[in-house]
Amino acid sequence: MAKYRKLGRTSSQRKALLRNQVTALIENGKIVTTEARAKEVSKIAEKLITLAVKEKDNFETVTVQAKVAKKDANGKRVKEVVDGKKVTVYETVDKEIKKDMPSRLHARKQMDKVLYTVTEVPTEAAGKKKNTKKVDLTNKLFDEIAPKYADRKGGYTRIVKIGLRKGDAAMEVLLELI
In a domain, 41, yes or no: yes
pLDDT along the chain (178 residues), means of 10: 85 96 94 96 95 90 91 85 86 90 93 92 72 88 92 92 93 95
In a domain, 80, yes or no: yes
**85-94: long-range contacts (C-beta < 8 A, 24 or more apart)?**
91/67, 92/65, 92/66, 92/67, 92/68, 93/65, 93/66, 93/67, 93/68, 94/63, 94/64, 94/65, 94/66
Q: Are residues 51 and 82 in the same domain?
A: no
Q: Are residues 63 and 133 in the same domain?
A: no
Give the pLDDT confidence score for residue 44 in this predicted structure: 95
Q: Are residues 121 and 92 in the same domain?
A: no
Q: Are residues 105 and 64 in the same domain?
A: no
Q: Are residues 65 and 78 in the same domain?
A: yes
Q: CA distances (Å), 13 to each of 10, 44, 85, 124, 150, in order?
A: 5, 16, 55, 34, 33
For residue 67, what are the contacts with CB-CB under 8 A and spacing of at least 6?
90, 91, 92, 93
Q: Are residues 66 and 128 in the same domain?
A: no
CATH assignment at residue 138: 3.90.1030.10
In a domain, 6, yes or no: no
Specify the number of domains making up the chain.
Answer: 2
Which domain covers residue 74, as residue numbers?
A: 59-100
User: Which of 100, 131, 152 is the last residue in one of the domains?
Assistant: 100
Q: Are residues 109 and 168 in the same domain?
A: yes
Q: Are residues 122 and 134 in the same domain?
A: yes
Q: Are residues 173 and 120 in the same domain?
A: yes
Give the pLDDT confidence score for residue 1 in this predicted structure: 55
Give the pLDDT confidence score for residue 24 in this predicted structure: 95
Q: Are residues 126 and 143 in the same domain?
A: yes
Give the pLDDT confidence score for residue 145 in this predicted structure: 93
In a domain, 2, yes or no: no
